């Protein structure tokens, strides 16, 4: 083994000594795959060589080489094209697909499954984990394509994207709504500012959405810190612009943005000095980039108080015409379809008029997802069964909504149970507009009810949650909840891009507003 760069063993345990490993050249690769005892114990090998790249067949050490990483997906791809044989080209295709997958950002659910903080490509992660849900839709198509190319396929797949969708359906991972949103975002990616870029989750999400063609991310923060975090975690942000808003180079930009803020807020409690000072904070600077057209949307709030994240957007961007108060909405992707919840984040104790405003904003947003809203106005009372102020408030809000938009399918006040139990609703309240329809929007009487419901559903599990989505702003700014995972950040970014597409105005200044780095990114991506 003195001149061997690689040791590959599938024999018996404990036949390789630490001295043998120590005698190998620099950066030795040791695959000790005998089970249950490897040819050399993982800890014994790594104790004598810090530069070793080692794998075993065991799940209690890094880099488990597990046969379930290969054969299910090789056979799946082979069967789906009715391959006459499984040849070397197909096996090599699986190997290369595994290698590529290992280098991509690891989803939160994989980290969670293996109790890891942040898996990334390196000496302790050179091969995907067996529980990675991306394996099926990555390996099987690669194998199937190799079978077609090598001439052993008897059935040709013409639509590979649809094939991947069908594979995900078999795992129960399919969600039609997010596929539609993602495809829509890819058709016209927008410039998306991440105001809290000095964070591993944000950098992972930014890298993924750029690679997937969803958006052109802009990272705000200390450049050295951001690059160090990316390098330590093997996150590729090479092509992404980083703006250090506190640097000397940005002084003129801060002064320009500060003057705009002063004009907007000079009679609303902010003086000239404060306007300049606020431009040294990333949320205000990012919101001003969106306001001035240097970006199309912004995500903030991952490491900040929620109210602190909303304030800059309201002060700088403002609300849409006719909107008196913004609101927060969550989108829950359930097995029965999408479910929208509001208001879950902003208005503590709204009036009937304000609840009606929120309901109409939610209905408009739901239609933007190409979904017809069917709305339940929730309370502890059913259609006048209680004469308390809160119950009457929800009944009054329902009345106002119907007056403003008679075509909207909405009813209440009603208990949450009735929204989903059609038999009880039909038997006891056959007059309801929600009889025989699937409710997809829940409007809560106050922030406590909405927020409690959302958090309970989140912790119980079984749903994929996107949000909170801010409603009522002129331009798309969303504030992430503390502790949001990479998956939610990506979903929120996708929603923000689609929102930016809807709100963007086509004018002759659009291309002028886009900075040179954005054009360069777009050219590279193509």
Rounded Cα distance between 487 and 201, Å, is: 9
DSSP letter for 517, please. H
At residue 117 the predicted structure's pLDDT band, cuts being 50, 70 and 90, is low
Check whether 519 has a pLDDT greater than 80.
no
- The pLDDT of residue 361 is 94
Q: How confident is the model at residue 63 (pLDDT cuts 50, 70, 90)?
A: very high
Average of per-residue pLDDT values in the chain? 88
Rg of the Cα atoms in the chain:
27
Residue 308: pLDDT above 80? Answer: no
Does the pLDDT value for residue 502 go beyond 90?
no
Percent of the chain residues past pLDDT 90, beyond the cut: 62
Q: Which residues contact 95 (CB under 8 A, 6 or more apart)?
A: none
Which pLDDT belongs to residue 113? 61
pLDDT for res 459: 80
Q: How many CA atoms lie within 13 A of 463 on its CB side?
A: 20
pLDDT for the residue 39: 96
Report phi then psi at 185, rounded to 5.
-60, -40
What class is the 327-472 domain?
Answer: alpha beta
Residues 57, 67: Cα–Cα separation, whole Å = 9
> DSSP class of residue 320?
P
pLDDT of residue 506: 40
Question: Which pLDDT band, with edges at 50, 70 and 90, does 512 fall under?
Answer: very low
Please report the pLDDT score of residue 525 as a whole number: 52
**How many other β-carbons are positioned within 10 Å of the β-carbon of residue 487?**
18
Nearest to 364 by CA among 475, 502, 177: 502
Q: Taking 90 as the threshold, does the pLDDT of residue 162 lie above it?
A: no
Strand partners, 256: none
Query: Considering only CA atoms, which of 346, 344, 279 is closest in space to residue 307?
Result: 346
Does 520 have pLDDT greater than 70?
no
| Residue 515: per-residue pLDDT | 47
Q: Where are the domains of the chain?
A: 6-175, 178-317, 327-472
Q: Which architecture does CATH list for 178-317?
A: 3-Layer(aba) Sandwich (3.40)
**pLDDT over threshold 90, residue 65:** yes
- Packing angle between helix 306-316 and helix 251-265, nearest 10 degrees? 80
How does pLDDT run across 403-426, given as a tens digit for each residue? Answer: 999 999 999 899 999 998 989 999
Please give the average per-residue pLDDT across 317-323, as a whole number: 88
- pLDDT, residue 513, reads 42
pLDDT for the residue 507: 37
d(CA 105, CA 119): 8
Q: Please list the helix, strand and coil fractions of the chain in percent, rounded to the nearest 5, in that order.
A: 45, 15, 40
Cα–Cα distance for residue pair 359/487, rounded to 1 Å: 27
Cα–Cα distance, 197 to 219 (Å, whole number) = 5
Q: State pTM to two decimals.
A: 0.71
Is residue 521 very low, low, confident or very high in pLDDT (cuts 50, 70, 90)? low
356: left (phi > 0), else alpha (psi -120 to 50), else beta?
Answer: alpha
The predicted structure's pLDDT at residue 432: 93
- pLDDT above 70: percentage of residues in the chain: 93
CB 57 within 8 A of CB 35: yes
Average pLDDT over residues 176-194: 85
Q: Which of 8-17, 69-78, 239-248, 502-511 has the lowest mean pLDDT?
A: 502-511
Q: What is the pLDDT of residues 66-97, one digit of tens each?
A: 989 999 999 999 999 999 999 999 999 999 99
Instruction: Quickly state the pLDDT bin for 467 (edges 50, 70, 90).
Output: confident
User: DSSP labels for 410-469?
Assistant: EEEEE-HHHHH-HHHHHHH-TT-TTTTS---EEE-SSHHHHHHHHHHHHHH-SSEEEEEE
Q: 423-455 burial, b for 16+ CB within 10 Å, e for fewer?
A: eebeeeeeebbbeeeebbbbbbbbbebbbebbe
Question: Same topology for domains 6-175 and 327-472, yes or no?
Answer: yes
Q: Is residue 220 over pLDDT 90? A: yes
CATH number for the segment(s) 6-175? 3.40.50.720
The strand pair at 337-342 and 327-334 is best described as: antiparallel
Instruction: Name residue, tokens 């702003």.
Output: 473
Distance CA 172, CA 387 (A): 45
Paired tokens of 420? 């989903």
What are 249-277's pLDDT values in tens digits? 999 999 999 999 999 988 888 899 999 99
Kindly compute the dihedral angle of the four CA atoms of residues 98, 101, 107, 110, in this order, to the nearest 10 degrees: 20
Cα 143 from chain centroid (whole Å): 28
User: Is residue 107's pLDDT more than 50?
Assistant: yes
């Amino acid at each position: 083994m003195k001149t061997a760069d690689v040791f590959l063993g599938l024999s018996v345990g404990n036949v390789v000594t630490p001295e043998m490993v120590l005698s190998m050249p620099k950066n030795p690769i040791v695959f000790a795959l005998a089970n249950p005892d490897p040819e050399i114990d993982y800890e014994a090998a790594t104790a004598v060589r810090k530069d070793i790249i080692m794998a075993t067949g065991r799940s209690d050490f890094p880099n488990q080489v597990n046969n379930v990483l290969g054969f299910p997906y090789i056979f799946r791809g082979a069967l789906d094209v009715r391959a006459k044989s499984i040849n070397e080209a197909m096996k090599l295709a699986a190997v290369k697909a595994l290698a590529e997958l290992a280098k991509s950002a690891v989803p939160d659910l994989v980290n969670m499954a293996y109790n890891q903080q942040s898996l990334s490509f390196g000496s302790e992660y050179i091969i995907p984990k067996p529980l990675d849900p991306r394996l099926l839709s990555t390996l099987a198509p690669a194998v199937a394509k190799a079978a077609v190319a090598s001439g052993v396929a008897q059935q040709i797949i013409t639509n590979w994207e649809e094939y991947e969708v069908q594979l995900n359906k078999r795992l129960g991972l399919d969600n039609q709504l997010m596929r539609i949103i993602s495809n829509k975002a890819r058709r016209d990616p927008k410039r998306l500012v991440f105001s809290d870029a000095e964070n591993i989750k944000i950098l992972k999400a930014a890298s993924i959405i750029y690679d997937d063609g969803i958006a052109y991310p802009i990272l705000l923060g200390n450049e050295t810190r951001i690059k160090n975090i990316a390098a330590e975690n093997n996150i590729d942000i090479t092509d992404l612009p980083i703006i250090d808003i506190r640097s000397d180079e940005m002084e003129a930009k801060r002064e320009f943005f500060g003057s705009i803020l002063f004009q907007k807020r000079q009679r609303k409690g902010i003086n000239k000095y404060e306007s300049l000072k606020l431009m040294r904070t990333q949320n205000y600077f990012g919101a001003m980039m969106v306001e001035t057209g240097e970006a199309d949307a912004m995500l903030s709030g991952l490491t900040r108080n929620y109210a602190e994240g909303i304030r800059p957007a309201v002060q700088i961007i403002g609300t849409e015409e006719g909107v008196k108060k913004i609101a927060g909405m969550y989108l829950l992707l359930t097995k029965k379809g999408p479910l929208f919840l509001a208001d879950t984040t902003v208005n503590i104790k709204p009036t009937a008029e304000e609840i009606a405003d929120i309901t109409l904003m939610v209905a408009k947003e739901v239609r933007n997802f190409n979904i017809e809203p069917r709305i339940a106005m929730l309370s502890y009372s059913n259609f006048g069964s209680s004469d308390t102020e809160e119950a009457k408030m929800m009944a009054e809000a329902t009345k106002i909504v119907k007056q403003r938009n008679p075509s909207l399918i909405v009813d209440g006040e009603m208990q949450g149970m009735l929204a989903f139990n059609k038999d009880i609703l039909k038997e006891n309240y056959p007059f309801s507009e929600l009889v025989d329809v699937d409710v997809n929007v829940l409007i809560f009487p106050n922030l406590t009810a909405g927020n409690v419901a959302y958090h309970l559903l989140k912790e119980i599990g079984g749903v994929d949650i996107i949000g909170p989505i801010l409603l009522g702003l002129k331009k798309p700014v969303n504030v992430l909840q503390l502790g949001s995972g990479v998956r939610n950040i990506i979903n929120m970014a996708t929603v923000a891009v689609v929102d930016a597409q809807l709100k963007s105005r086509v004018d002759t200044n659009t291309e002028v507003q886009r900075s040179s780095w954005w054009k360069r990114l777009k050219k590279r991506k193509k």
